[in-house]
Amino acid sequence: MKLMVNHQTHYAYSERACNSIQYIKMIPQSSAHQHVHYWDISVPGERVIKTDVFNNVWITSSQRFDYQHLTIMAQGVVELYENDAGAHQPDVPISLFLQPTLATQCDAEMLDFVHQHVKYPSLESLRTLAEQILIKVGYAPFSTTVQFTARDAFHTGSGVCQDHAHIMIAMCRALNLPARYVSGYLYDSNAPHLASHAWAEVFLGKQWYSFDVSNQLFRPSSHIYIAIGRDYFDVAPVRGMRERGGVEKMVSTVQVLAC
CATH of the domain at 212: 3.10.620.30
Q: How confident is the model at residue 220 (pLDDT cuts 50, 70, 90)?
A: very high
**What residues make up the domain containing 246?**
2-82+237-258
Looking at the structure, do residues 31 and 50 belong to the same domain, yes or no? yes
Q: What is the mean pLDDT of residues 103-118?
A: 96
Whether 89 is covered by a domain: the verdict is no
Instruction: Quote the DSSP letter at residue 172.
Output: H
Structural domain contains residue 133: yes
End-to-end CA distance of the chain: 8
pTM: 0.94
DSSP string, 52-89: -TT--EEEEEEE-S-EEEEEEEEEEEEEE-SSS-----
Domain of 247, CATH number, reads 2.60.40.2250
Q: Are residues 121 and 168 in the same domain?
A: yes
Range in 48-52, 96-100, 110-114, 142-146 with the lowest mean pLDDT: 142-146
The dihedral formed by the CA atoms of 109, 110, 116 and 117, expressed in degrees to the nearest 10: 160
Please check whether residues 108 and 230 belong to one and the same domain. yes
Confidence check: pLDDT of 20 > 80: yes
Q: Does 210 share its domain with 137?
A: yes
Q: Which residue has the higher pLDDT, 141 or 166?
A: 166
Structural domain count, the chain:
2
E strand or H helix at 205, and its extent?
A: none
Question: What pLDDT does residue 194 have?
Answer: 65
Q: How confident is the model at residue 203 (pLDDT cuts 50, 70, 90)?
A: very high
59 and 118 in a single domain? The answer is: no
Do 42 and 159 have their domain in common? no
Q: Note whether 72 and 200 are same-domain residues.
A: no
- With cut-offs at 50, 70 and 90, classify the pLDDT of residue 193: low
Statement to judge: residues 223 and 137 lie in one domain: yes
| Mean per-residue pLDDT over the chain, rounded | 92
* 26 pLDDT higher than 90: yes
Q: Is residue 88 part of a domain?
A: no
Average pLDDT score over residue span 63-89:
87
**Does residue 187 share a domain with residue 114?**
yes
Q: Average pLDDT in the 137-157 region?
A: 92
Contact criterion met (CB below 8 Å) for 24 and 56 = no
